[in-house]
Structure 1
Amino acid sequence: MRRRVDVLCVQETKWKGQKAKEVEDTGFKLWYTGTTSNKNGVGILVNKSLRDGVVDVKRQGDRMILVKLVVGDLVLNVISAYAPQVGHNESTKRELRKAWRTWIRVQRGKRAKVARTKWWKLKGEASQAFRERVIKEGPWEEGGDANMMWTSMATCLRKVAVEEFGVTKGSRREAKDTWWWNAEVQKVIREKKDCFRFLYLDRSAANMEKYKVAKKAAKRAVSEARGRAYEDLYQHLNTKEGERDIYKMAKFRERKTRDVNKVKCIKDGDDQLLVKDEAIKRRWREYFENLYNGEAESSTIELDDSFDDTSMCFVRRIQESEVKEALMRMKGGRAMGPDADGEIQGAK
């Protein structure tokens, strides 16, 4: 998106279901909820750089959705709501207010900056101005602690660089889909970049014409290579191996529709989300201490100490050669022994 939005709340999506889906060619993932087609519905869009931090999703009918997002050490609750107005009774409005009171958590904190200093401008006249300011404003007095001197100089350098060169907006372009690029495509793309570099240094008519020709050739080569790659892919899907790939692709797409792909955080005894490593380790330690040393109901297993003549007889130890032979007979992904289906059919 042109405005570099990371999180966007949308209303009146008018989609039925409670699902998640990726928005193609944008890098965003959408979580939405709706109970009736072409009516109401809310959703939340999260950018690619933040969507892996989603740890929980809650939905309230087709009027409210909450996405819990972990950014660094902060836990953010993003809520998208669509309040009922005309044609709804007081009970419906009361339910919405109750959900608001349950979900909303006021969390304060500073958002981490990802902007970078434009150090690449350190050349020419800008380099000379930067040097003069550093010499004039820098703490160059000798003596004192070395670490303090280093910290003071580094702070001065960063401050002058930000004021002289500026900072970026903190965004980054999404990676393009280039799995089908071949050597020919890479060659014409490299030529187009070279022409653009010459055009940036000298905006003459000749350089402009060369760049237009190179851009047109690159566009044609990319289109042809992509067409051939997809044609080969379709031919491959018609084979036996391609059928397996279809199932893999279906599983991959289903995995993308899940609300939470990876569990990165746990909750404490008060149902509060833990994001720091030390707090998570401490919670696991408390859990296992209560599990093994707690005052829970006794889990002692009463063993049957009755023995008969059969159980008192000598039992030969299993030999190492027998274990190796059994391992050799094992099939991948299956345990030794008869199948359950075969036993059931035999019983019939």
Structure 2
Amino acid sequence: MIPDSNCDRELLVGHLNQDGTLEAKSLELSDELSKYNIYVACVQETRWKGYDSTAVKRYKLWYVELDGRRSGVGILVSNKLLEQVVNVNRCNDRTMLVRIVLGGEITSIISAYRPQVGLDELEKLYFWDCTNNIIGNILRDEKVFVGGDFNGHMGKEADSYESVHGGFGLGVRNESGEQLLHFSLAHDLVIANSIFKKKEEHLITYKSVVHTTQIDYALVRRTDKVSSRDYKLVFGTKMPTQHRLFVLVFHIEQSSCRQEDTKEGEKHIFKLAKAKSRKKQDVGIEDIKTRWYQYFSQLLNESRGPEEEGGQTPNVLNQHEYGTIKNITTYEVRKALKDMGEGKAIGLDNIPIEVWRCLGEEGRSTTEAIHVLRRLMQKYREKKKDLHMVFIELEKAYNSIPRYIIWESLEKKDIS
């Protein structure tokens, strides 16, 4: 970030999978970032065990790694911006976030590292769950930068992903790259690597003796696409890694600029951060009471059962008419879903089993459900088939109490 006389600013955000123990390469990395005026950088494969932070010459590094061997992610912030850091959130050893106040607005910096091909599928799902949750908790008016090694190929052409793919990619799209595109669609992000026309050599983020490919990406909000001024690869660094350091240039609008290094600016930073935090988290006691009152008032005053002519409910329950039906247990549903094989032919409902597994399991986020539905829509679009979806609000459909049954039950128990 370089202030000028008009207080216009540019933020240079870097990304690098440094491919080895960061503890041994931290000084070299700090020198490289400082050399190119990069003030914030997302790094992967830190392999620096623990949930902690440390000073690295002109930068401070926040990192997370569980066992010191598998992966690890980190975010480096220049010492010049340390007083503007308002929050650090480590989701796991593959996803973390640092929030910084820049130009009077909060910017969320996320470092992500998707598991490689061949690793356990559950670990990949866990990565997407954490990344979905961490972005889903960011307010829509906050700027977002995601620097990540997603171990996937988004492909050269945008095809049907014009809203997230700028049309300037590399190679042939694979399944991991398609997951990245669906993830971007779900969160209204755009892949910044793809919006600038570059030579093919300047799109390669991983280069070895055998392979040259693009697997490292920068993602920003689609509304901030115009603020992304350039995307650059840094050649000839001293870092001994097969991944390449890249930089995204952000423009900070003059109208939202404020001198953060003054006392007035400092107060504004923390006032802004607290206000946004309250807006996202706090709910008043009276609001909670009001919501519960409205819920039960509607729940207990709606009649959903059969009625006789004249609006009267039947006085006697006919057991032969209504019968006794054994409820389907949660265990039976889970077993049925588990026994169904993936990639099998769809049934009469034309819904793949993968969709039922996602939408029907507890603990899944709404974002992931949207992600799966987008994939379903894409599959139907590719096969040029019609797709009809009905969304039922289960609370209104099922979560009401037939009041006549309550009264009959009370009468049988001699409760008046």
Q: Which has the larger radius of gyration?
A: 1
Which one has the bigger strand percentage?
Answer: 2
TM-score range, shorter chain: 0.3 to 0.5
